Amino acid sequence: MNNITETENVCGLKKTDFQTTIGGKQTNLYILRNNQGNEVAITNYGGAIVAIMVPDKNGNRANVIQGHDNIQDVINSPEPYLSTLIGRYGNRICRGHFQLNGKEYNLAINNGPNSLHGGKNGFNAKVWEALQMNDSTLVLKYISPYGEEGYTGEMKVTVEYSFTDDNELVIEYMATTNKKTVVNLTSHGFFSLAGIANPTPTIENLECEINADFYIPIDNTSIPTGEIRLVKDTPFDFRTPKTVGRDIDADDEQIKNGAGYDHCFVLNKKEEGELSFAARIKEPVSGRTMEVYTTEPGVQVYTDNWADGYKGQHGATFPRRSAICFEAQHFPDSPNRPYFPSVVLKPGQVYTQKTVYKFGVEK
């Protein structure tokens, strides 16, 4: 391991500020570095990514993901999913119930009439077992007990974060179960490519491209209507790059239902499960870029429509629409939509998912 001291962490975070004990389990901070001296900082509380330090076009590093600078603020964040892992089921399940093998399952309701992101105490609020393999790799493990948040089966989950010398943050997921269940894991990174600040700049000037010909319309409780709709001639057409803000407040029922963008895009795929290009954003002032690649069939794009300027790391504040999220996942409410790609995991099967966030600069 390299011998950079805590005070020399590029992100300015201290491990001691992230250490506490919850239910007999120890929380900590883990710093991943690549050969360019860039950093990713992650805590094993909820797998929250609290810093991604990458350069702009002038070589100046800044943190491009929203996070907190101590464990208590992570635990008590006004945004409980701030750059955390999400499970057992990312996104919404209508009225918190679904059927599996003819049996009805009822989940915790925590988002209007629906269940969101695994329920009231999902993977974002768990202390994961952590093992830092080397300077650039962290492995987190969690065993979700039978019946947790209403889900069936005991599920064993492993998530590996690696930070490559090409400034790629690679997140690989693996899960197994002892009973047939449903699973939809993701990472809910709140990305701010301009760099977090007080206040963190809006994402409306970001140039954004999304590799999707279709998206999933939602009702006014953010549940899919059941339709899969063409993006053509709608505010959801990002097939060629445009600014996020161009149509974010369009006079459009879908935009109103999401209070901006909070929709799942159906990614163009040549074959199911292939690792392929999903999205790209560019921040025009800093020149920073981020590309997203994933094996998942969809990506939930969320434009941080509900933030209110709460405080984050090192005095930064996070106003409305100061971040954009690309949550690679299966479609919302899939357990109740047999024609959506299946989210069922059976004993003997292995759930896998891989998503890559690649950071760069364009002058």
225 residue type, one letter = T
Among 69, 59, 58, 57, which Cα is nearest to 11's? 69
Among 228, 192, 251, which Cα is nearest to 62's? 192
Dihedral angle of Cα 80, 84, 90, 93, to the nearest 10 degrees: -10
* Number of Cβ atoms within 10 Å of the Cβ of 12: 15
327 catalytic residue (yes or no): yes
Q: Annotated catalytic residue: which of 79, 283, 296, 327? A: 327
Distance CA 291, CA 169 (A): 10
- If you count them, how many residues does the chain have? 363
Name the one residue in this structure whose structure tokens are 């300077």.
135
Distance CA 83, CA 105 (A): 28
Q: Annotated catalytic residue: which of 188, 283, 291, 330? A: 188
78 in helix, strand or coil?
coil
8 catalytic residue (yes or no): no
Residues in CB range of 4: below 8 A, 6 or more apart: 33
Q: Indicate the burial class of 299 (C-beta count within 10 angstroms; 0-12, 13-18, 19 or more).
A: buried
Residues known to be catalytic? 188, 327
